[in-house]
Structure 1
Amino acid sequence: MNQIFYPAKERGTNDIGWLKANFSFSFGPYYNPDRIRFGALRVLNDDIIAAGRGFGTHPHDNMEIITIPLKGGLEHKDSMGNTGVVNAGEVQVMSAGTGVQHSEYNASATEDANTLQIWLYPKEMNITPRYDQKSFKHLLKLNELTTLISPEKSENTLWINQDATFSQGEFEAGQQINYEIKTPGNGIYIFVLDGTININDCKLNKKDALGVYNTSSITIETEAHSSLLIMDIPML
């Protein structure tokens, strides 16, 4: 088993007034040769976006893009004709494929929004672009992991063009979570949304992360009431 610790305090940052961004991997003005990607995971941006502000229309291609609002909501518009708001408790996925343009703005005129923007390299290149979003509020249960994203179509999850599985859960202190990798050969990237956990004697606090690979399972222990995002992704 191999593991890489990603302390929250070592993330790259960019504050341009309306946007306060934390970069887990090299992005925009932040470059760290030791923080390029973890397997297929290329981007994990933790953004705080001011009321009414956001990202104007811009292009993407050949990337799997996942948006997870932690607070507030984002108004989305794209060149495929999709419009709407994705709120906290919901997840949005977009396969950029052969090319798509979109914009995302904080849907609130008075409150900041906090979102995770996640990019994965795709399994297949140049597919037809697609978009979807789903609410998981009714599926999330205390002390259980809920699958948000999977490689296959399902009524209860979103799917993307990659052999990746995303799971989220909120756990009381003193819980033990035994997680088995969904796709053989994948690695696991655990991102602490809140709280304190311990994995292999490595203590993680809020917004810390741990990448684990060359194993088939891990055990997570919660030292405080904690919320987790687990990304089960190809190591390429």
Structure 2
Amino acid sequence: MSTYITHKADTRGKADHGWLTSFQSFSFAGYYNPDRINFGALRVLNDDIVAGGKGFGIHPHDNMEIISIPLSGALEHRDNLGNTKVVGEGEVQVMSTGTGVFHSEYNHNAEEEARFLQIWVFPKELNITPQYDQVTLDQAKMNNRFLPIIAPAPNKEGTSIHQDAWFNLGVFDAGRQETYTVNEPGHGVYAFVIDGSFTIDGHRLDQRDALAIEGAASVNIIAESDKARLLLIEVPMQP
């Protein structure tokens, strides 16, 4: 039997640091909700707004797969692996932090906000050699279909992380219907609405709402507005 839990946008945690506004789908930093610690291997989904020229100073991570998806603007990334990169809208950035990475992340533009999703996934293996990847997505391939921006290697459409996880991103016209088939039995699907509205297996979701789905072999999706953008995250339920 499938189970569904709706996470409405206004029930998320919120932190306002002046230079950073962060909406948190799961417990993070000062936000704690015992019912929202993680969804299987999905540990963090932060919806962040960074003021012009501001950002996160050098800090460490280890044993976590960290995915950044810019929604507007651009981020400037530096790390102790030797990477100095700018990642912007239409790209996805992945860090497999493994044994440890130090990095900083700043808004690349001094005059405008940067908005991005910061997502953490538990790895399937600890203490790997840290890795960095950044890819540009084919926007045309997200029109009325899902593009696997993250999938187990080799993923010709996007990139991979050290977990049996699939991230699919699509932009849909109103009335468009899609069926997402779960890749591995027992995996869960976390559906996060970036823009617009959807009905997913009979559950209405609006902008920044999410639906946690367990036990489903497939998911029926109907776009309820034009240019409706949806992120599907499929992960093992045993992190």
- What is the TM-score with the length of structure 2 in the denominator? 0.97
How does 1:173-184 map onto structure 2 within 5 Å?
173-184=174-185
| Unmatched tracts of structure 1, length 5 or more | none
How does 1:23-42 map onto structure 2 within 5 Å?
23-42=24-43
1:177-233 residue CA offsets vs partner (Å, 9 max, x unmatched): 100011222110000011111122211000000010111101011111210001011
Aligned to 2:200: 199
User: Aligned-pair distance for 1:130?
Assistant: 0.2
**2:200 paired with 1:211:** no
**2:234 paired with 1:232:** yes
How does 1:13-32 map onto structure 2 within 5 Å?
13-32=14-33
More divergent stretch after superposition (130-139 vs 62-71): 130-139
AA aligned opposite 1:124: E
Distance 1:174 1:155 in 2: 29
Kept after mapping to 1: 8 A contact 2:147/2:157: no
Distance 1:109 1:27, change over 3 A: same
Distance 1:130 1:189 in 2: 25
| Unmatched tracts of structure 2, length 5 or more | none
1:18-73 residue CA offsets vs partner (Å, 9 max, x unmatched): 10110000001111111100110000000000000000000000000000000001
User: Aligned-pair distance for 1:138?
Assistant: 4.5
Distance 1:156 1:33 in 2: 36
Aligned to 1:65: 66
Kept after mapping to 2: 8 A contact 1:139/1:146: no
Distance 2:205 2:171 in 1: 15
How does 1:1-236 map onto structure 2 within 5 Å?
1-225=2-226, 226-236=228-238
Identity of aligned residues (%): 53
Distance 1:76 1:212 in 2: 33
Aligned length: 236
Kept after mapping to 2: 8 A contact 1:197/1:221: yes
User: Aligned-pair distance for 1:141?
Assistant: 3.6
Other structure's SS at 1:144 match = coil
- What is the TM-score with the length of structure 1 in the denominator? 0.98
Q: Which aligned runs of 4 or more in structure 1 are off by greater than 4 angstroms? A: none
Kept after mapping to 1: 8 A contact 2:90/2:139: no
- Give the RMSD, CA atoms, in angstroms: 0.9
Distance 1:65 1:172 in 2: 30
Other structure's SS at 2:156 match = coil
